[in-house]
Amino acid sequence: MTQRGVLRDTYNRTIRDLRISITDRCNFRCTYCLPDTEEAANFYQSSKSPALKASAKKKIIHNWKPKSEILSFEEITRIVKVSSSLGVNKIRITGGEPLLRRGTESLISSISNLGIIEDLSLTSNGSKFPSLAKKLKEAGLTRITLSLDSLNHKNFRRITGFDGLDDIIESIQLAKALDLTPIKVNAVIIRGINDHEIESLADFAIRKKIIMRMIEFMPLDSGRTWQRSHVVPGQEILNRIKSKFSLSPLPAQSISETASRWAIGNSEAEIGIIAPVTNPFCGNCNRIRLTSDGKIRTCLFSLNEHDLKSTIRNGASDYQLASKIKEIVFKKEAGHQIGKTEFIQPKRSMSSIGG
């Protein structure tokens, strides 16, 4: 195997974090990802932009990858093992919705049993988590991140296309009971859709003693209807919360941290603001992503992908696989181009990239 800690790009950033999508499928149709619900169409049709109105009328076709093109759990575990030899010590399992893939707990177990990953987490919309939570914990999952974009049943369904708010609340309680901590709960804030709930989401964090992270709306939707006017800047979100709650800044846990962190009063809750559009953190990025069909993406907004699946299936040794990963990482982009005239939205949506 190779020397630990040598997975660096041309900008001398050391890669420690590998996010692995295990399926491109999702049972939600979130406005910011797979917006093919009637509610999403109505929102965009109400926009003043003719282009958005036209786009909202188009039928979105999701071409899910067939099973033969999806990496097996054995292939994923091998990639984790080789990546860890290069210094990767943080693995996040994502989708799509990862718990739609049968046997996810066996993958968690395989990775955990390697004994080399310090942080093994999972991102989920929470719809399937209650029935699998205990198995995931027993398999070796260390923590979970859940999505919660609204506390109102009607608005939750409008955003996600799914009547699943109660499932998310149950998932948060269950994750706490199983000590899958720290529990992080993500809310993508979109102007005109859920920005009126910023303060209530902060209050929810206090009541549930969780980390609530509010994220700027990014151009990763399959409808390609993202507009800057729908972005609520992180500073605006922060100011709104500060107007109602006492916030104290928390120190960064690492230079690669994506969120600015704030303690709320004397509570056990925490607010995180993730602002990739208005305050990019590309300079300290330590992440790469593996799609469910075996492509490495060195940036969430990469226009190019690097095929790792064919390297594995063509019989590469661990040394050759490690060399391939190092070669890919060395080409990692300096940063994304959101807000610049040359920005081009990736062809894939967040669901097929992996969060």
* pLDDT tens string 13-29: 999 999 999 999 999 98
Query: Which segments in the chain show pLDDT lower than 70?
Result: 1-5, 35-63, 220-224, 349-350, 355
pLDDT score, position 44: 54
pLDDT score, position 1: 42
Number of neighbours of residue 95 by Cβ within 10 angstroms: 29
Looking at domain 17-353, its CATH architecture is Alpha-Beta Barrel (3.20)
Position 199, amino acid: E
pLDDT score, position 49: 54
Per-domain residue ranges for the chain?
17-353
What's this model's pTM, rounded to 2 decimal places?
0.89
pLDDT score, position 43: 55
pLDDT score, position 264: 96
* pLDDT tens string 190-204: 999 999 999 999 999
pLDDT score, position 343: 75
